[in-house]
Chains A and B, each alone.
Chain A
């Protein structure tokens, strides 16, 4: 792992910062670079993540942001935007 977005457990100040951080983490599990990842990208088709990758991605997000993502929420995530929105809701990070 070459990039650590924010120190574990620290909450990003803005949604933009959070989106950056999430994309960096997603990039480590996909073949795309963080800059190429878009919020509309689907995890299965666009990023070719299988179930194991998805679980590892969610567990890494939980560790980085010191949060717990319920399994039923994680099960419904389809796009990178869904992940950002989900983490933002848990961390209560607004869009300012």
Chain B
């Protein structure tokens, strides 16, 4: 009696930016597809989606982060210090070379929000000073 050959799945699980992925050899993946009668979706065939998704997130995050930091009037070193992260880490994130976890992005957002608020409060104070100077004597 022919026994069905058992397929041993050798894979690794990773978590990137809150999404869990399984990494396995391509040949094994193809065998699994054949065994399960599953057809690979054509545009997924180049092995790009994961990279594309991560690249998109990284570049989108990097771009927005630089814009927000500059709008808050902070240098990279200032923001890193205020957020309590290493300047090298922030530099890598802004160049799209690092996918930060939730805690790191939250630290950056909190620091940028505080700096933006500080900036607008300072602007308000100097505006009031100007107004006070221009009030004609009654």
Known: A45-B53, A56-B109. A51 touches B99 (CB 8 A): yes
Q: Contact partner of A55 among B60, B99, B102, CB < 8 A? A: B102
Give the contact-size bracket for chain A: 10 to 19
Residues of B within 8 A of A59 (CB): 106, 109
B interface residues, how many (CB within 8 angstroms): 19
Are A78 and B102 neighbours in the complex by a CB distance under 8 Å? Answer: no
Decide yes or no whether A50 CB sits under 8 A from chain B.
yes
Q: Contact partner of A52 among B18, B56, B65, B101, CB < 8 A? A: B65
Are B18 and A78 neighbours in the complex by a CB distance under 8 Å? Answer: yes
Residues of B within 8 A of A78 (CB): 18-19
Closest to A82 in B: B18
Decide yes or no whether B64 CB sits under 8 A from chain A.
yes
Are B61 and A51 neighbours in the complex by a CB distance under 8 Å? Answer: yes
Are B102 and A51 neighbours in the complex by a CB distance under 8 Å? Answer: yes
Residues of A within 8 A of B99 (CB): 51
Decide yes or no whether A39 CB sits under 8 A from chain B.
no
Residues of B within 8 A of A77 (CB): 18
Are B102 and A71 neighbours in the complex by a CB distance under 8 Å? Answer: yes
Are A74 and B57 neighbours in the complex by a CB distance under 8 Å? Answer: no
Bits for B4-26, please: 1 = Cβ < 8 Å to A, else 0: 00000000000001110000000
Bits for B100-111, please: 1 = Cβ < 8 Å to A, else 0: 111101100100
Residues of A within 8 A of B60 (CB): 50, 52
Are B105 and A52 neighbours in the complex by a CB distance under 8 Å? Answer: yes
User: Which of A's residues lie within 8 Å of B, judged by CB?
Assistant: 44-45, 50-52, 54-56, 58-59, 71-72, 74-78
